[in-house]
């Protein structure tokens, strides 16, 4: 068994930087977990602590049930695949793959057998006698993976392995890695800043911000049920739209429309607002929860609100249509939102003064036109509401958001203090490290 368990893991560098702050994470045997977050959030540091290249300042790291904090990298039996695959240029593909086995003084017959098997699975058989220089980028990447595979490690650790590749190759290698991981069933931890990679590769995704674990869950959980503004904005492309909202007597006022808050939201918002009469919120709407009103069937129209708006720009891509809509009043009214936008790298796209722009993904058959007013529709059932000060979601539901697992095990099978992406501190503890401090709702 090679489950990897992190308990209260922190890293403080000599200059005082806290790169990783009290992280809890349970990675099951055979599971594929993605560590994702913007540049500088501490994901490489966390990976390097797991592999043993970086000392752990605080906390306990176990692999297969044994505490390994003080073991050197060699004794942890993990295989790391880096961004620059570091192949030996003077060695053939065969010798590159065999290298770690020779180092371990493995018997030659066994080496041949393992290299042959890896080459077969990786479809490198015909290249075994070539030098790396005579291979394509993708083939080199496969050799690097071969070198990791032959060691039969307890786990594979990937540090942004695809970021040097061009877009097409990246997609190819992504499916390749997913296929190999399933084939071998080896526990895998994969670091990336690319939310698309995170969403497509992993069984579960762990989102880090400034060294602090925000939420751990399946891609669907994170997408449908983000715990705070940061996760909501980070996961999904194009990202979630944020609008300022005002709740008063069961009604939600948005810059472009007023709507009745669906009953289930009303209860939860009420509870969180301590029954206050009026409450400011940040409203999150995914692009696909807008529609051209003329394309919405009559029985569904009532679940949302219709509004008229000019459409600034249309991007039609055959299977998708994105409409850019100006809205008055920006949700960037506070420091936190501005900082969040910077972190999420979306500052310039959406806002200018008090006018901001939202992105709507409409039915590609829609006849809306650039520069003209159109009747649009917003699905009220799919709104997300956030607390403006802390960024905590008011609509987050513990263990929800993944229809493929919902009801079966709200995170239970992944156990641990953050199984399924539960909040470390729900309500009242938004700013603090609530409980195990594994997951935070403030963003
Ligand atoms: P990521 O992989 O998410 O981009 P890193 O783990 O590389 O982030 O870095 C996390 C934080 O720790 C960053 O603020 C970075 O500047 C800092 N950091 C990384 N290495 C060192 C170091 N050797 N000394 C001091 N600070 C460091």
- Per-residue pLDDT of 325-340, as tens digits, reads 998 876 555 566 777 8
Residue 436: pLDDT band with limits 50, 70, 90: very low
Protein residues whose CB sits closer than 6 Å to any atom of ligand 1: 13, 15, 17, 19, 37, 39-45
Instruction: Report the nearest-CA residue for atom 5 of ligand 1.
Output: 42
- Beta carbons of 87 and 130 less than 8 angstroms apart: no
Instruction: Report the nearest-CA residue for atom 16 of ligand 1.
Output: 40
Which stretch of 152-156, 296-300, 418-422, 429-433 has the lowest confidence by average pLDDT? 429-433
CA–centroid distance, residue 40 to ligand 1 (Å): 6
| Token code pair at residue 302 | 């009532």
CA dist 242 → 192, 329, 369, 377, 407 (Å): 25, 11, 24, 16, 30
Q: What is the pLDDT of residue 419?
A: 37
Cα–Cα distance, 238 to 235 (Å, whole number):
9
CA–centroid distance, residue 316 to ligand 1 (Å): 40
Residue 123: pLDDT band with limits 50, 70, 90: confident
Per DSSP, 438 falls in state -
Mutate to test the pocket of ligand 1, among 37, 39, 40 (most ligand atoms within 8 A of CB): 40
Residue 434: pLDDT band with limits 50, 70, 90: very low
Instruction: Report the nearest-CA residue for atom 1 of ligand 1.
Output: 40
Q: Mean pLDDT over all residues of the chain? A: 85
What are the two backbone dihedrals, phi and then psi, of residue 434, each rounded to the nearest 5 degrees?
10, 120
Instruction: Report the nearest-CA residue for atom 13 of ligand 1.
Output: 40
Mutate to test the pocket of ligand 1, among 12, 13, 23 (most ligand atoms within 8 A of CB): 13
Given the CA of residue 39, which atom of ligand 1 is nearest to it?
4
Q: Is the dihedral of CA 290, 167, 346, 391 positive or negative?
A: positive
CA–centroid distance, residue 207 to ligand 1 (Å): 16
Instruction: Report the nearest-CA residue for atom 12 of ligand 1.
Output: 19
CA–centroid distance, residue 45 to ligand 1 (Å): 6
| Token code pair at residue 94 | 């065969």
Cα–Cα distance, 379 to 372 (Å, whole number):
22
Q: What is the pLDDT of residue 49?
A: 97
309-365: pLDDT as tens digits: 999 999 999 999 999 999 887 655 556 677 787 777 764 445 556 678 899 999 999
Cα–Cα distance, 72 to 54 (Å, whole number):
10
Mutate to test the pocket of ligand 1, among 17, 53, 207, 208 (most ligand atoms within 8 A of CB): 17
259-284: pLDDT as tens digits: 998 888 887 776 555 555 788 999 99
192-232: pLDDT as tens digits: 998 889 999 989 999 999 999 999 999 999 999 999 999 99
Instruction: Report the nearest-CA residue for atom 24 of ligand 1.
Output: 13
CA–centroid distance, residue 208 to ligand 1 (Å): 13
CA–centroid distance, residue 178 to ligand 1 (Å): 28
CA–centroid distance, residue 77 to ligand 1 (Å): 24
State the DSSP H helix or E strand holding residue 349, giving kind and residue range, or none if neither. Answer: helix 347-350
Q: What is the pLDDT of residue 352?
A: 55
């Amino acid at each position: 068994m090679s489950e990897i368990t992190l308990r209260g893991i922190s890293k403080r560098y000599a200059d005082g930087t806290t790169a990783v702050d009290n992280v809890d994470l349970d990675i099951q045997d055979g599971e594929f977990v993605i560590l994702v977050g913007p540049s500088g959030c501490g994901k490489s540091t966390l990976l390097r602590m797991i592999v043993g290249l970086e000392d752990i300042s605080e906390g306990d790291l176990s692999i297969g049930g044994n505490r390994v904090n003080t073991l050197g990298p060699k004794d942890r039996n993990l295989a790391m695949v880096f961004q620059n695959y570091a192949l030996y240029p003077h060695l053939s593909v065969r010798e590159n793959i065999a290298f770690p086995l020779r180092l371990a003084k493995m018997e030659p017959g066994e080496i041949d057998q393992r290299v042959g098997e890896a080459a077969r699975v990786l479809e490198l058989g015909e290249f075994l006698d070539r030098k790396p220089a005579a291979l394509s980028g993708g083939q080199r990447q496969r050799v690097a993976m071969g070198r990791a595979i032959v060691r039969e490690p307890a786990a594979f650790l990937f540090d942004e392995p695809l970021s040097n590749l061009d877009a097409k190759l990246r997609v190819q290698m992504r499916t390749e890695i997913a296929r190999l991981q399933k084939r071998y069933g080896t526990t895998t931890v994969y670091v990336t800043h690319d939310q698309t990679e995170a969403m497509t590769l992993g069984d579960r995704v762990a989102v880090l911000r400034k060294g602090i674990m925000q939420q751990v869950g399946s891609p669907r959980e994170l997408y449908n049920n983000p715990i705070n503004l940061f996760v909501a904005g980070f996961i999904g492309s194009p990202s979630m739209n944020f609008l300022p909202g005002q709740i008063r007597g069961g009604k939600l006022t948005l810059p472009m429309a007023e709507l009745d808050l669906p009953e289930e939201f009303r209860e939860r918002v009420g509870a969180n607002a301590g029954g206050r009469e009026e409450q400011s919120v940040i409203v999150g709407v995914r692009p696909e929860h807008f529609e051209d009103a003329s394309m919405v069937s009559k029985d569904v129209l009532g679940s949302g609100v219709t509004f008229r708006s000019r459409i600034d720009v249309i991007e039609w891509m055959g299977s998708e249509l994105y409409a850019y809509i100006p809205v008055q009043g920006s949700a960037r009214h506070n420091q936190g939102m501005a900082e969040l936008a910077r972190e999420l790298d979306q500052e310039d796209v959406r806002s200018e003064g008090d006018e901001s722009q939202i992105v709507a993904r409409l039915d590609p058959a829609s006849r809306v036109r650039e520069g003209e007013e159109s009747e649009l529709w917003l699905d009220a059932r799919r709104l997300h509401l956030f607390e403006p000060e802390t960024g905590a979601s008011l609509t987050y539901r513990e263990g929800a958001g993944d229809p493929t697992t919902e009801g079966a095990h709200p995170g239970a099978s992944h156990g641990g203090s953050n199984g399924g992406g539960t909040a470390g501190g729900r309500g009242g503890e938004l700013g603090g490290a609530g409980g195990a401090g594994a997951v935070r709702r403030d963003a």
